[in-house]
Structure 1
Amino acid sequence: MKTLKFFLLGCVLIYSTGLKAQDTSAQLIKLMNEATVAWNKGDLDSYMALYSPKATIMLTEGRAGLKSIREMYEKYYFVDGKAKQELNYANYEVTMLDKNNAILTGIFILKANDKLKERKGTFTVIFTREANGWKILHDHSG
């Protein structure tokens, strides 16, 4: 009987851990989708709110901090406070590293318009749970 109780307790823990991971995955995907809405409205401040103040990104020159991330977006992806292209994400996959850290991978798509052709590529972001919620700690897009 004691063995059965431990078995059932183990099953409950495994099931609840799986549910928490699913909840976190859904939450991270929701955050990414909300960020695309901000981007497409030209609201770079709201888009950047997804990043941790400690965030880094991989650029061709190497790893750079949050200020460089914003400068890159302003220089290459925005003009006069508007996104040059509509942004969408697809093929999300979330891997939980532990309860406070996750890897999210997917594809980014910058929609074609009358001035620019469609651009797409893959991305990997590392999310960390901070006091004010889930934030991107590192971004590697290509």
Structure 2
Amino acid sequence: MNGQRFFLLCGLLVVMAGWAVAVPARAGGDDAAAIRQVMAQQAVAWNRGDVANYMRGYKDAPDTTFVGSKVRKGYRTILDGYRKHYATAQQMGRLTFFELDVRLLPGTDGEVRYAAVTGRFHLDRAAHGEVAQDDGVFSLLWEKTADGWKIILDHTS
């Protein structure tokens, strides 16, 4: 009888542990979905030729960083770079994100405040500005802010 109780208790602990893990995972799924939603909104804005609304996915801060052919620091600097390199809607073309991998990064307290996202992009366009690249890869570091998920580091190549 003691052996049966032991196995019953172990089984109950395994079930409880699985349940306890499922709750944060569901919440994490909400965070991943929120990030994907921001990226979908960015693509819609880009495809309208609306750089200002595309940039709403970035944190408006002096330390927000974009790494491409060179390193740009600061929200305004990144915005100005996009406006310079993609001066017209024809140069912007149609943006598609794909192969997205959203990896949530919990802190020591278990709270998710950051996320790493990797993926690929494609620009379908006829006109090219200063940037001739139509396809590439990116890695993004996101921060969960009071205003929602925001990109704080963008490395696109």
TM-score of the aligned structures, taking structure 1 as reference length: 0.86
Give every structure 1 segment of 4 or more consecutive aligned residues whose post-TM-superposition deviation is greater than 6 Å.
Answer: none
Matching residue of 1:31: 38
Residue 18 of structure 1, CA deviation:
1.9
Write 1 or 2 for the structure with the bigger share of helix.
2
Matching residue of 2:97: 89
Change (3 A) 1:34 1:83: farther
Matching residue of 2:74: 65
Counterpart of 1:138, as a letter, is L
CA deviations over 1:86-126 (Å, ceiling 9, x no partner): 1111110011111111011111111132x347710000111
Matching residue of 2:114: 101
Percent identity of equivalent pairs? 26
Residue 66 of structure 1, CA deviation:
1.3
Equivalent residue of 1:52, what SS?
A: coil
Residue 83 of structure 1, CA deviation:
5.3
Compute the RMSD of aligned alpha carbons.
Answer: 2.0
Counterpart of 1:90, as a letter, is F
| Largest Rg, 1 or 2 | 2
Equivalent residue of 2:40, what SS?
A: helix
CA contact (8 A) 1:41 1:83 kept: no
Instruction: Report how many aligned residue pairs link the two structures.
Output: 139
* Structure 2 residue runs without a partner (length 5+): 1-7, 107-111
